């Protein structure tokens, strides 16, 4: 019933978005632009009710369903106001048909043109559909997702909103990071359970390809090239590996490309300004770096509005711009405003310093320069494939294996040629009036370049995914020139083929191999939810106990567990509470006051000794990750509390995939290697009495992220242990 409601509300929002998009762009012949307008409005319609109710702390499934229904109906009615009802309904139905069949129309067009784009489009559809299915079958297992992305969802549902949560420093991202990308995770979770929480990125991927295609068609005539390179953008490892995860970089780059389209549209009209404001709000609230992207694109949009006012000799666009600014601030402002009010730092929990401007915003997590030496960067870009390191936040070869060799050099050549064209002559006469000229493309390229400048790690693709789109756009423009025609099919074909081939090299890729997918498909949903498929999850025996014992309102506490999102049940109806340890009596008394049913503690810690103390008040459930144990409140007869009650899953557990990831350690981390079932991390025993121990930003995660990567035989910490690099060549 819950998923049926989710589907109905999502489709209703899509119908309303298409109706309004078709009404606003009724005179637009481009199906891509109408579809992109509808997609932008649809993203806003999903976000708006979640955003509003969350900040009003009224976020529940019934209130969200009512708010979403009302919002979609209002938009649908507004789209048909002032027009003959049947005429506008016919227009809406035709627009719905056009948008729904757009992928098939693109495949048909590519097939008729005998273009390599048909292979690219089929691959993109298959990858998006496959990862959606795997996300439905396999429990979420991404590192950052179970660390804080899904914790944002859990605390929002638990507290019925985005109120401040008392958490240790390493979890302050839940409070301080821009959170609107997590609104989509809330949307797919609140009505039923979190089976679809990893599927959001698969839904975002078609919008990314569509936005790139629409943007590219502004500058080039070659439709097949725009389709193919849009898919290449999506299939780049740094992008495609974000599927089946709750990492939000794909959502953020999709919002960036959509905003780039609307904010740079030539001769803007009022409708364009409103969509630009909505898209800027989506960018600014998508992730912590979104405030920079929002400011940059906002400045571009303001300049474009002024230029359009001069061209049209009308000041009405200024009023539209003021209204769009209010939309932008309403979406992006609350998180940054609360951080500024509480800590004087809009980017909390990140510490931000600019010595030249004497800016020093406090925060527990220091933004570090993670740039590698040039030799290491070249190895990551041009080295041979190294399967075993391809995770959602992949670092090695995140730009793929053909873009560095072919795409980037040609994009540099294209940029130089573009500069020469702009300053050496005017080519506007060779372009149709609806296309932008070389000056416009040059300005857009400079915007993308400036957006990349503050990146903390140029080698790490996830920090500047928009740069991949910029490179491919310049490459496409170069191949669209007359002299590039003989070569363009081969160059684009190489990008497409290698992008598809690389998918077979990605290991562990999306974490779940084919045979495991088949096993999961044969299980009941309740059994699939407790099957561990990654290092970050609870073992099956403990997850099974969680589902049986933690119901609505039951409290599970933690003090420094690195993945608290694993402590919510599948429907996220129980409560998770942070309880710092000061002394045995204080800790146990606080657990009693909360009426906690579960406590997850670090082995050999003060909490662990307190829970094991006599007389027995707590009993062991099972392991809760590497170096952690889950306890339940003991309810048996005296003297029998030393052993946990046996919990047998309905389906026999299968061991999780062998961990192969070399996670980055945070500052201050010390660890001992884990390999082949080796010893637990070298975690110091905390004080058993006295004041609560300080919880620095990297204490837990740094110690948990141990050196167990068999693919890199020797590793040395760099930049205080935050990142890691090989000390000798890979075999």
pLDDT tens digit sequence for 96-120: 999 999 999 999 999 999 999 999 9
* pLDDT over threshold 70, residue 467: yes
For residue 685, pLDDT over 60 is answered with no
Q: What is the DSSP letter of 268?
A: -
pLDDT band at 368 (very low <50, low <70, confident <90, very high): low
pLDDT band at 442 (very low <50, low <70, confident <90, very high): very high
Q: How confident is the model at residue 533 (pLDDT cuts 50, 70, 90)?
A: low
Identify the pLDDT of residue 102: 94
Residue 720 has pLDDT above 60, yes or no: no
User: Sorting pLDDT into bands at 50, 70 and 90, what band is 558?
Assistant: very high
With a cut of 50, say whether residue 694 has pLDDT above it. Answer: no
> Could you give the CA distance from residue 429 to residue 465 in angstroms, rounded to a whole number?
34
Q: Which residues pair with 628 in a beta bridge?
A: 602
What does DSSP say about strands 723-726 and 575-578: parallel, antiparallel, or unpaired?
A: unpaired
The residues pairing with 618 across neighbouring beta strands, listed in sequence order, are 633
> Is the pLDDT at 715 greater than 80, yes or no?
no
- What does the block give as tokens for 278? 């909505």
CB 558 within 8 A of CB 171: no
Q: What is the pLDDT of residues 409-437, one digit of tens each?
A: 999 999 999 999 888 865 544 444 446 78
pTM recorded for the entire structure: 0.87
Which helix H or strand E contains 556, and what residues bound it? Answer: strand 555-558
pLDDT beyond 80 at 670? no
pLDDT (average), residues 358-376: 82
**pLDDT value, residue 435:** 67
Q: Quote the Cα angle for 372-374-376, to 5°.
A: 60
Question: Once rounded to an integer, what is the mean pLDDT over residues 573-598?
Answer: 94
pLDDT (average), residues 620-644: 74
What SS3 class is residue 345? coil
- pLDDT at residue number 585: 92
Least confident of 110-114, 328-332, 392-396: 392-396
Q: 200: closest CA among 262, 148, 260, 249?
A: 249
Which position has the token pair 């905390």?
Answer: 686
Rounded to whole angstroms, the Cα distance separating 506 from 401 reads: 12
Question: DSSP state, 721?
Answer: T
Position 532 scores a pLDDT of: 77
Rounded CA-CA distance 174/423 in Å is 49
The CA-based angle 202-203-205, given to 5 degrees, is 70
pLDDT band, very low/low/confident/very high, at 691 (cuts 50, 70, 90)? very low
Residue 661 is predicted with a pLDDT of 38
Q: Which are the contacts of 266, defined by CB distance < 8 A and separation ≥ 6?
A: 218, 436, 440
Residue 702 has pLDDT above 50, yes or no: no
Q: Is the pLDDT of residue 463 over 60?
A: yes
pLDDT band at 588 (very low <50, low <70, confident <90, very high): very high
Residue-wise pLDDT tens digits, 194-241: 999 999 999 999 999 999 999 999 999 999 999 999 999 999 999 999
Which range has the worst mean pLDDT, 93-102, 433-442, 474-483? 433-442
Average pLDDT, the chain: 84
User: Quick one: pLDDT at residue 214?
Assistant: 95
Q: Please enumerate, as own/partner, the contacts of 510-515 that have beta carbons within 8 Å and a separation of 24 or more.
A: 510/131, 510/134, 510/241, 510/243, 510/244, 510/245, 511/138, 511/141, 511/244, 511/657, 512/134, 512/137, 512/138, 512/244
Q: What is the pLDDT of residue 76?
A: 95
The DSSP bridge partners found for residue 622 are: 630
Check residues 731 and 2 and name the one with the higher pLDDT.
2
pLDDT for 427 equals 54
* Residue range 634-655, pLDDT digits in tens: 876 544 444 434 444 444 444 4
Residue 5 pLDDT exceeds 90: yes
pLDDT-derived band at 659, boundaries 50, 70, 90: very low
Each residue of 151-189: pLDDT tens digit?
A: 999 999 999 999 999 999 999 999 999 999 999 999 999
Q: In what order do the strands lie in the sheet with 359-361?
A: 359-361, 350-354, 365-366
Q: Report d(CA 112, CA 109) in Å as an integer.
A: 5
- What is the maximal distance between C-alpha atoms in the chain? 91
Lowest model confidence (mean pLDDT) among 410-414, 628-632, 656-660: 656-660
């Amino acid at each position: 019933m819950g998923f049926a409601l989710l589907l109905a509300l999502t489709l209703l929002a899509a119908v309303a978005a298409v109706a309004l998009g078709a009404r606003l762009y009724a005179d637009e012949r481009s199906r891509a632009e109408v579809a992109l307008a509808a997609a932008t409005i649809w993203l806003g319609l999903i976000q708006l009710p979640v955003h509003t109710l969350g900040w009003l702390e009224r976020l529940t499934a019934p209130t969200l369903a009512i708010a979403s229904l009302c919002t979609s109906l209002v938009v649908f009615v507004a789209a048909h106001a002032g027009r003959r009802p049947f005429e506008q309904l016919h227009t809406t139905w035709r627009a719905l048909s056009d948008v729904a069949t757009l992928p098939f129309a693109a495949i048909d067009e590519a097939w008729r043109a005998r273009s390599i784009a048909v292979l690219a489009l089929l691959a993109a559809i298959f990858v998006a559909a496959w990862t959606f299915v795997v996300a439905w079958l396999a429990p979420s297992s991404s590192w950052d997702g179970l660390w804080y992305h899904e914790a944002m969802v859990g605390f929002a549902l638990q507290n019925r909103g985005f109120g401040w949560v008392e958490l240790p420093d390493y979890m302050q991202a839940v409070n301080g990071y821009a959170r609107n990308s997590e609104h989509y995770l809330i949307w797919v979770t609140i009505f039923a359970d979190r089976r679809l929480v990893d599927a959001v990125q698969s839904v975002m991927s078609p919008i990314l390809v569509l936005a790139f295609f629409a943007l590219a068609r502004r500058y080039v005539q070659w439709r097949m090239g725009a389709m193919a390179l849009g898919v290449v953008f999506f299939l780049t490892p740094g992008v495609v590996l974000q599927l089946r995860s709750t990492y939000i970089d794909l959502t953020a780059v999709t919002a960036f490309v959509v905003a780039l389209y609307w904010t740079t549209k030539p001769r803007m009209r009022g409708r364009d300004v409103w969509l630009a404001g909505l898209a800027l709000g989506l960018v600014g609230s998508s992730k912590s770096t979104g405030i920079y992207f929002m400011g940059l694109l906002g400045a571009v949009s303001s300049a474009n509005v002024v230029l359009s006012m001069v061209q049209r000799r009308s000041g009405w666009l200024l009023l539209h711009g003021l209204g769009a600014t209010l939309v932008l601030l309403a979406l992006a402002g609350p998180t940054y405003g609360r951080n500024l009010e509480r800590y004087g730092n809009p980017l909390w929990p990140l510490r931000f310093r600019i010595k030249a401007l004497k800016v020093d915003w406090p925060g527990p997590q220091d933004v570090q320069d993670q740039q590698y030496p040039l030799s290491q960067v070249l190895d990551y870009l041009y080295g041979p494939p190294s399967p075993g390191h391809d995770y959602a936040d992949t670092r090695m070869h995140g730009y793929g294996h053909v873009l560095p060799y072919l795409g980037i050099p040609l994009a540099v050549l294209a940029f130089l040629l573009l500069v020469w064209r702009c300053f050496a002559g005017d080519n506007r006469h060779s372009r149709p009036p609806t296309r932008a000229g070389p000056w416009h493309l040059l300005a857009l390229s400079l915007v993308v370049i400036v957006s990349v400048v503050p990146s903390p790690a140029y080698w790490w693709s996830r920090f500047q995914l928009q740069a991949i789109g910029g490179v491919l756009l310049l490459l496409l423009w170069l191949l669209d020139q007359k002299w590039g025609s003989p070569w363009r099919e081969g160059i684009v074909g190489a990008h497409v083929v290698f992008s598809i081939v690389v998918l077979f090299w990605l290991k562990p890729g999306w974490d779940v191999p084919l045979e495991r997918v088949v096993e999961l498909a044969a299980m009941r949903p309740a059994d699939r939810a407790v099957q561990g498929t990654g290092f970050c999850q609870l073992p099956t025996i403990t997850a099974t106990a969680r589902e049986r014992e933690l119901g609505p309102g039951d409290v599970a506490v933690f003090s420094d567990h690195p993945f608290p999102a694993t402590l919510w049940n599948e429907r996220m109806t129980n409560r998770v509470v942070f309880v710092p340890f000061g002394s045995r009596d204080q800790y146990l008394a606080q657990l009693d006051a909360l009426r906690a049913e579960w406590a997850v503690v670090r082995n050999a810690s003060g909490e662990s000794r307190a829970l094991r103390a006599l007389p027995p008040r707590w009993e062991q459930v099972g392991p809760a990750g590497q170096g952690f144990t889950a306890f339940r409140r003991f309810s048996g007869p005296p003297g029998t509390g030393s052993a946990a009650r046996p919990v047998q899953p309905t389906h026999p557990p299968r061991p999780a995939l062998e961990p192969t990831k070399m996670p980055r350690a945070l500052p201050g981390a010390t660890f001992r290697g884990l390999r082949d079932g080796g010893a637990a991390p070298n975690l110091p025993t905390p004080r058993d009495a006295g004041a609560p121990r300080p919880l620095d930003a990297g204490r837990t995660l740094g110690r948990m992220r141990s050196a167990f990567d068999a693919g890199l035989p020797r590793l040395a910490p760099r930049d205080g242990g935050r990142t890691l690099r090989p000390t000798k060549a890979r075999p």
